[in-house]
Amino acid sequence: MLKAIVITEQPVSASVPAGYSLTLRCRAEACTSLRYQWFSQLQSACCQITGATEPDLLITARETQLYICRINDLQRNFTFSNWVKVEVHQRIARDLLPELWQGEPVIVINPTVLEVKVGKELQLQCAALGIPAPHYQWYHNGKPMEDQKKKKLLINSAKVSDSGTYLCCAANSHGEHWTNAVDVHIGTCWPDTFFATDKVALLVGNNHYQNHPNLMAPITDVFELSLLLKKLGFRVVSLLDLNKVEMMIAVNQFLQLLGKGVYAIFYYAGHGYEHSGRNYMVPIDAPQPYAPENCISVQRILHKMQQRQTALNLILLDTCRKWYNPQCALSQVQPLEPWGNTVYGYATSEDAEAYEVQDGEFSSGIFMKYLKKHILQEKKVTHMLEDVLEDIGRDPLVTGKQVMEIKHTLKEARALTDPIYPTGLTAVLWGHSCELLRETVTFPCGIQVELRFREVFSNVMHVSAKLQAPPPHIADVRLLLCRPAEMQDLAVLRGSQSDQVESLLTSLSEHEELDCVLRLCGLQKVQEASKPTSSSYPKDGSMVPAAQKGLASLEVESGSSSQCSSQSNTCSEPEENDESDLSSLCSALLRASPGQNCS
């Protein structure tokens, strides 16, 4: 019995510019010699290509056509290859293709910005060159659209929820390439005023230094600013007392949340300095004296913020601007792009100091004292800062000592109160905010304790315990909250700082008598000693249940004392700090919503 003709290599479709020469290949096997014949189809007409009787067909692409190859043996058996399409793109710039193009995808048509009314058809289109012809996958707000895998995206009846950022990935065996992202608004009309695609703020307050005088105001200023920014719709990450590595990681994670159209705020309170127009933040582990390599450059951060195509970058520096070490060389910083979206708010002028003031039971910076008075105003952000500047200038405590300074390139009247039309990827990256828990722990002896968790800052958690009514056979109960094993080495807020946190908490809620209180700080240092399970971490990656493990123990007296502990397991000791672990933790902290109340 003769062996059937078996095609071992099928021709592949291609997407090429007009005038490009390429070869279609077909290979087959059989017991006898084989003959090949190529055919082409243009529109509805299919015709044999004269002289195309070889396994390879060399063509110069002029217009889009379909091709197929017939293979027959000497016994008049035959089979056909798959149809392939050679798509030809006209008027493609010659320099668009790389000099040594190997067939990897090259985008030639990007989708364009659209405004579509509700219920109308939404169409987006892209195209790419490639051999083999690329396949396509559309994404909406960072998520793949299962039913949109062609060059043209089509939604027959658009809904408001279809608003957002769209982009497409073109891929073949040589690689992948992405189109530009495009914002689509579904509604009756575009908003008449300026708007943000999202609002994100990173607030850092360094209070307790290893080699420099400690500060009092940053802990209060960061806390109060975070509350005000949340009222304006900002996603806020607030962190206290970071060393250099932790500051760099926090900034990098912050940058990942920024995107096209986002309003971004970076606020720093702590020791700092300025040298030849360049500003540096001093981490808590900086030596004495410090040099630029021990500190964090603000200009480098702003340069990276600009690369994220933000609509507004607001830098607020509540630091001194004096420089005490003239022998040190400046760090290298690339010049900023003139995009007209940057605002600097300096707490003080060049070569001057910024002052703290005792405001009731709180210590606060002079700058924050007046910033919190005006920041909720519905006016251009530079005009709002001018109001702050004028108020500071009228304060007799700092007359002749501290004058605020504003620098900006803001070309549009954008305000922090502008509405949010979420068309970017920030919400996807941020994840679901974590609602801090109230959880009741039941001990084997029958006693129940309600644990409550509140994040005062993104890396400072307040844990309290309330003893529920004990069973009748329990005569005396003493409740203790203990640090979990993985948190034994975390920093502890010093006396004055602890008092400030307590005052801040009291200012937020009505006083309630609690049986036990534990404060966990420096949470950015927590390591994962082993892969988390569903019982130790929630799906949204928040830190709360990890903090619960091993927290509660109590002593019970019923004629005699007995020890009773929670049934939860205690985590093993963490390994040494490294940047990857810290980065993973910061990601979890970013996905939590700091400062939420457990009520």
Which residues carry out catalysis? 271, 320
Give the other-Cβ count within 10 Å of 125's Cβ: 15
Quick check: 69 and 80 in contact, CB under 8 A? yes
Structure tokens given for 511 = 């006083």
Structure tokens given for 457 = 């800052």
Distance (Å, whole) CA 484 – CA 481: 9
Distance (Å, whole) CA 556 – CA 471: 11
Distance (Å, whole) CA 220 – CA 216: 8
DSSP string spanning 63-96?
S-EEEEEEEEETTS-EEE---EEEEEESS--GGG
Q: DSSP assignment, residue 151?
A: S
Helix (H) or strand (E) holding 60, with range, is strand 56-60
Write out 427-478 in H/E/C secondary structure: HHHHCCCCCCCEEEEECCCCCEEEEEEEEEECCEEEEEEEECCCCCCCCEEE
Between β-strands 476-481 and 552-557, what pairing exists: parallel, antiparallel or unpaired? antiparallel
- Give the max Cα distance, the chain: 107
Beta bridge partners of 238: 203
Contacts of 422 (CB under 8 A, 6+ apart): 163, 164, 197, 198
Distance (Å, whole) CA 36 – CA 322: 82
Q: Which of 413, 350, 411 is nearest to 384 (CA)?
A: 413
Q: DSSP assignment, residue 523?
A: G
Beta bridge partners of 201: 236, 265
Q: Which residue has the tokens 């043209």?
A: 152
CA distances (Å), 324 to each of 244, 272, 292, 327, 328, in order? Answer: 20, 11, 12, 9, 10
Structure tokens given for 48 = 């044999």
Quick check: 136 and 176 in contact, CB under 8 A? no
